[in-house]
Structure 1
Amino acid sequence: MTPDPVTVHGMSTSGNCHKVRLLLEQLGRPYTWIEVDSANGGTRTPGYLAKNPNGKVPMLERGDGAILVESNAILCWLADGTSLLPPDAWQRAQALSWLFFEQYSHEPYIAVARFICGWTPLDSPRRADLPRLHERGAQALAVMEKHLEQADWFTGAAYGVADIALFAYTHCADDGGFDLSTYPRITDWLARVCATPGFVPMPGVSDDVAARLASS
């Protein structure tokens, strides 16, 4: 039985949004994508806030109008009952621990550094935060590198939701000033993720954004 289609409101260049798109593509689940320019107020409109008062992307909407937000919660709901979310309670908890790690120890530094480098003017005061973000982001990457000394994946014995979550901003960490060449095991893991069936790449920072920053 084919699952009911869903609608995803997201920004294509956002790693948190790309997680959802990548999983949907790999599951072969039908979906509609509605592009939202969250960097320029697209999530702060009355209509959007009526559905998601937190005003963030991604947002998943079922056919019956039910709403689910927070990227990793969406991953777990979509992957439930598939091989991408471990059925064993202990192994599933291990995968969830990496999802929490991604949101609390990884994304706040690596994703934010990427945003500052890619979406703010060269004279933005936010760029003063980059040294701290690079320090904390490097710590997160070191934790991942250590894990990969003894394992091929983060979800368990095979690829799954934790790998999708961590891939989202790790693969483009160099956009934020991180040198991934110093993490050979992460580099190998990224290649394994890219080789999984149904993989789709995330768009880079658009040319119009780059042009706007260059002229600012």
Structure 2
Amino acid sequence: MRLYSMPSSGNSYKVRLLLSLLGRDCEIIDVEDSSDALAKAKAEGRLPFGKAPVLELDDGRLLPESNAILTWLAEGSAFVPADGFTRAEMLGWMFWEQNQHEGVIAVRAALLFYPQRRHLATPERLAELLERGHALLQIMEDRLTKRDWLVGDAASLADICLYGYTHSAGTRGGFDMTRFPAINAWLDRVAALPGHKGLDG
């Protein structure tokens, strides 16, 4: 398999993390933002939606979207709960991650991290994202105050999915993570999973 992966992106990182946790071999093709490699991958039709990550299977089929890739890779593994309701809960958190969390937590980090986006990082925009991000993180905090994992009794795709951008919310996004002790304990639990690799791993 080949993974077209943007090295600095949490969406790409969570796929690389799952591959490592599963011990799966995969060729990684770096397609960083605004790079020649990204332009080449687009020109060759490797990125159906115009962005990374995309998993290219051994038979040539292309699977875009990080959470779809996670679901395909983890099928039959312990990261997908056997119980139907718990599995649906997992998917709910994954949908929420893309629909709510990623569009705030990742966007604020991107405005601060990528030089080509800094012109959009007005004080008003950053303040708005900070307030909204803290509210979203509080939803996770409330959930994790009562349990070790987002769903069920073990790590699932919900945890891997939300770890992608949450683990760097403080360092890259400037969110005040001292407000979220349950999230911080959860981040430590994910980091302790066998096979864990960091964003730069």
TM-score, length-scaled by structure 2: 0.92
In the alignment, which of 182, 200, 203 is matched to residue 200 of structure 2?
203
- Given that 1:38 and 1:56 are in contact with CA atoms closer than 8 Å, whether structure 2 keeps it comes out as no
For residue 80 of structure 1, the aligned residue among 75, 81, 87 is 75
Matched to 1:135, the amino acid is E
- Residues 122/154 of structure 1: CA separation in 2 closer, same or farther (3 Å cut): closer
1:105 corresponds in structure 2 to 100
Partners of 2:62 and 2:48 in 1: CA distance: 11
5+ long unaligned stretches in structure 2: none
The match for 2:110 is 115
Going from structure 1 to structure 2, the CA distance change for 1:42 and 1:182 (only over 3 Å counts) comes to same
Task: Give the corresponding residue for 2:179.
Answer: 182
Give the TM-score taking structure 1 as reference length.
0.86
User: Aligned residue for 2:90?
Assistant: 95
Paired position in structure 2 for 1:153: 149
Aligned length: 199
Give the whole-Å Cα distance in 1 for the aligned partners of 2:5 and 2:20. Answer: 15
Q: Which runs of 5+ in 1 are unaligned?
A: 1-5, 205-216
Alpha-carbon distance in 2 for matches of 1:163, 1:121: 31
Q: Does 1:194 find its partner at 2:177?
A: no
Q: Give distance in 2, aligned partners of 1:72 and 1:122.
A: 25
Q: For 1:48 and 1:176, how far apart are their aligned partners in 2?
A: 32
SS in 2 for 1:50: coil
1:127 aligns with 2:122: yes
Contact kept, 8 Å, 1:116 with 1:127, in 2: the verdict is: no
Give the RMSD, CA atoms, in angstroms: 1.9
Residue 83 of structure 1: CA displacement? 0.4
Contact 2:91 2:158 in 1 (8 A): yes
1:17·1:57 contact (CA, 8 Å) conserved in 2? yes
Name which of 158, 161, 167 aligns with 1:162.
Answer: 158
Identity %: 42
CA distance in 2, matches of 1:106, 1:99: 10
Deviations 1:162-192 (A, max 9, x none): 1011111001001111011110000100011
Q: Distance in 2 between matches of 1:162 and 1:82?
A: 14
Please state how far the C-alpha of 1:54 moved relative to its aligned partner.
Answer: 1.6
Q: Please tell me the residue identity of whatever aligns with 2:161.
A: A
Aligned AA (1:187): N
The one-letter code sitting in structure 2 at the alignment partner of 1:158 is: A
Whole-angstrom distance in 1 between the partners of 2:117 and 2:13? 26
Tell me by how many angstroms 1:121 deviates. 6.3
Amino acid at match of 1:93: A
Counterpart residue number, 2:136: 140
1:3-40 C-alpha deviation (Å, 9 max, x unpaired) = xxx11000122110010111001101111100002244
Q: CA deviation at 1:41?
A: 6.3
